[in-house]
């Protein structure tokens, strides 16, 4: 579903002004300075412009769950630059090889263009935004030529700086380093004069996952509009996340002596929005991308099996062999997330949805209701005899009951358990002790993996020289600072195929200096925009003066690092974005848990 933007008055800002703001953002390394620049930018925006400005600053045309993309590849952009400036495609390509940034190539050739420029009125922000939306909507025969023509038209009429950001945006490589939390703080400051309203804005964002919509409501309706924000079908809710504790005893103490203890399934998170009345189903992944076309068996099952008007379920989709009660490993389940050959694979590897929560039912929001009430509603609508099941669980009243159930779950080959506070609401978009996970331990390893953000990479040496890839510099996410803090360099666990894939992807997001939201004492061979997440296993977390993760939090000058880190799974995680990576706070908790386990082992 595409969004429409009504223009009630003439645009207040030209695109050239927006490009100047983007240039300022690129030049700074202070997040507070970044907030000030964004605040000034938002203050100059009209109520009609704020939504497209937020999307453009995020580097998107709509919220990610709508999946609207320009569809411009590098070769198309090279052709558009050549046409707009009068240079040959070969010259444009040669310059791109030198700089690695087609935005800078466009800027250079617009400055030195061979074609006489026709005088036109300056672009408005809405002009540029709507042109990009038109580019994204074109499909079918002849679409490539139409896309190139429209992009070429934008570049031809742009000034050099505008051309830089037009081309970068078209390729999905804006390189501003602006995070959602930073945008929320700047919005708060622009409207109220302080950053204090950021928490309320974040709550609204957590239940709609659409930052542009939040900004538009805030600019048009003020604080009241944000405080009255409602859940809507087909706008995904940012998922609740679980904290960690190392033992049943500590979990039960935190839960007050009683908890719902559920099996933790190693599949992929699926938030399922169902409008049975109109036979519409949409499924969103952990990072809120639309996964519906890849899961036709789940779509069919919810329409067939659930006797409801509408609902939003939260659950885990996993490949399951019912005849032998066997769950397939994550590596097999994730192969279902593909765009081609879906029908054939769904027959060979059928998916089941194991629902563990209900967030909306028959036009009624459920997230503020206590978990025990939500679970009762869920069990009433799910029969458990088809493809839609509820997660297995017990009500534990002692650490012994919890740990006995945990052992049974591990024996079945599952990941572990999640203990839930029976009286807690659903905490969208946050990690709280209302949900606590306990996962299986591995000899000589941490009891859990970490999801880390790639912030840099190294050239290959020796046997890896041919791949021009030798390893990664990775970071965790500090939610309080909205910064990525380094925790490890990784040089093991890569297959040849993985190295080639990583090099190809990382080259496209390479930047010339450390991104503003990266805190690092280490200099890799190449910096990259924080975009991709990898899953890592390590033997332990240690203190280190070389890394910035958690540095200074406990009053010391040392940060946290990983001992013997190695890549697991299939490299980059397609279902997680950088802000969903393991947090600094989690690393500190894991370090404390590890120390407790060491003490127990020594007694």
pTM score, two decimals?
Answer: 0.85
Q: Which residues belong to CATH 2.40.50.140 in the chain?
A: 450-602
* Cα 129 off chain centre by: 23
Output DSSP code: residue 429: T
pLDDT of residue 333: 59
Q: Angle at CA 290, nearest 5°, toward 586 and 61?
A: 95
107: tokens are: 């800027």
Q: Which CATH number fits domain 1-230: 3.90.550.10, 3.30.1050.10, 3.40.50.620, 1.10.3260.10?
A: 1.10.3260.10
pLDDT of residue 347: 59
pLDDT of residue 1: 35
pLDDT digits (tens, 9 = 90+) for 19-56: 999 999 998 878 889 999 999 999 999 999 999 999 99
Q: Would you list the DSSP string of 126-179?
A: HHHHHHHHHHHH--STTHHHHHHHHHHHHHHTS-HHHHHHHHHHHHT-------
pLDDT of residue 177: 84
Closest of 277, 320, 278, 324 to residue 298, by C-alpha: 320
> For the chain, what is the largest distance between any 2 Cα atoms, rounded to a whole number of angstroms?
82
Cβ atoms 372, 290 nearer than 8 A: no
pLDDT of residue 271: 97
Question: b/e per residue, 451-480, with b = 16+ CB within 10 A?
Answer: bbbbbbbbebeeebeebebbbbbbbbbbee
Matching residue, tokens 């939390």: 181
Q: Which residues belong to CATH 1.10.3260.10 in the chain?
A: 1-230
Report CA-CA distances (Å) from 99 to 93, 162, 365, 507.
10, 18, 51, 11
479: tokens are: 């939610």
Rounded to whole angstroms, the Cα distance separating 424 from 318 reads 26
pLDDT digits (tens, 9 = 90+) for 552-594: 887 778 999 999 898 886 678 877 889 889 999 999 988 888 7
pLDDT of residue 587: 93
pLDDT of residue 328: 62
pLDDT of residue 326: 66
Pairing mode, strands 241-244 and 431-439: parallel
Is 241-439 a CATH 3.30.470.30 domain?
yes
CATH architecture, domain defined by 450-602: Beta Barrel (2.40)
pLDDT of residue 601: 47
Active site residues: 264
Name residues of the chain where pLDDT drops below 70.
1-11, 119, 322-348, 441-445, 447, 461-467, 569-570, 595-603
Q: Which residues belong to CATH 3.30.470.30 in the chain?
A: 241-439
Closest of 264, 256, 269 to residue 421, by C-alpha: 256
């Amino acid at each position: 579903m595409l969004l429409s933007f009504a223009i009630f008055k003439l645009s207040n800002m030209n695109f050239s002004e927006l490009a100047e703001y983007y240039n300022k953002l690129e030049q700074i390394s202070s997040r507070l300075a970044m907030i000030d620049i964004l605040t000034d930018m938002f203050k100059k925006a009209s109520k009609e412009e704020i939504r497209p400005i937020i999307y453009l600053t995020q580097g998107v045309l709509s919220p990610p769950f709508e999946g609207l993309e320009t569809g411009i590849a590098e070769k198309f952009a090279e052709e558009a630059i050549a046409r707009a400036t009068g240079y040959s495609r070969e010259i444009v390509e040669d310059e791109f090889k030198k700089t690695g940034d087609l935005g800078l190539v466009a800027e250079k050739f617009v400055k030195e263009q061979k074609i006489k420029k026709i005088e036109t009125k300056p672009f408005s922000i809405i002009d540029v935004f709507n042109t990009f939306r038109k580019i994204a909507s074109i499909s079918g025969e002849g679409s490539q030529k139409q896309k190139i023509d429209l992009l070429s038209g934008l570049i031809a009429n742009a000034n050099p700086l505008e051309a830089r950001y037009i081309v970068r945006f078209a390729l999905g490589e804006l390189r501003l380093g602006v995070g959602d939390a930073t945008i929320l703080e700047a919005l708060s400051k622009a409207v109220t004069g302080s950053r204090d309203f950021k928490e309320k804005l974040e709550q609204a964002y957590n239940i709609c996952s659409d930052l542009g919509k939040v900004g538009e409501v805030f600019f048009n309706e003020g604080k009241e509009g944000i405080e009255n924000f409602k859940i809507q079908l087909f706008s995904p809710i940012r998922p609740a996340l679980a904290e960690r504790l190392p033992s049943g005893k500590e979990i039960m103490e935190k839960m007050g002596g009683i908890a719902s203890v559920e099996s933790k399934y190693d599949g992929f998170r699926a938030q399922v929005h169902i409008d049975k009345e109109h036979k519409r189903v949409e499924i969103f992944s952990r990072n809120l991308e639309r996964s519906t076309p890849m899961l036709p068996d789940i779509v069919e099952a919810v329409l067939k099996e659930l006797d409801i008007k509408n609902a939003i379920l939260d659950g885990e989709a996993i490949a399951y062999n019912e005849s032998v009660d066997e769950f397939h490993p994550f590596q097999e389940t994730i192969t279902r997330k593909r765009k081609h050959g879906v029908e054939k694979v769904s027959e060979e590897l059928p998916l089941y949805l194991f629902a563990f929560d209900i967030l909306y039912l028959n036009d009624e929001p459920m997230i503020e209701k206590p978990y025990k009430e939500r679970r009762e509603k869920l069990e009433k609508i799910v029969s458990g005899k088809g493809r839609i099941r509820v997660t297995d669980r017990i009500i534990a009243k002692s650490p012994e009951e919890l740990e006995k159930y945990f052992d049974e779950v591990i024996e079945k080959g599952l990941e572990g358990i999640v203990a839930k506070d029976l009286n807690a609401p659903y905490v969208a978009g946050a990690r709280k002790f209302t949900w606590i996970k306990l996962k299986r331990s591995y000899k000589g390893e941490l009891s859990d993996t970490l999801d880390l953000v790639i912030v840099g990479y190294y050239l290959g040496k020796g046997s890896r020289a041919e791949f021009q890839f030798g390893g990664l510099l990775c970071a965790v996410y500090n939610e309080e600072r909205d910064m990525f803090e380094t925790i490890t360099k990784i040089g093991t666990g890569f297959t040849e195929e993985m190295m080639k894939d990583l090099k190809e992807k990382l080259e496209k997001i390479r930047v010339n200096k450390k991104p503003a939201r990266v805190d690092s004492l280490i200099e890799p061979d190449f910096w990259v925009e924080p975009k991709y997440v990898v899953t890592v296993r390590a033997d332990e977390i240690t203190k280190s003066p070389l890394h910035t993760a958690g540095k200074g939090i406990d009053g010391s000058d040392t940060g946290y690092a990983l001992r013997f880190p190695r890549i697991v799974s299939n490299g980059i995680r397609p279902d997680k974005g950088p802000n969903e990576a393991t947090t600094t706070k989690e690393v500190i908790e894991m370090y404390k848990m590890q120390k407790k386990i060491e003490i127990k082992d020594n007694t």
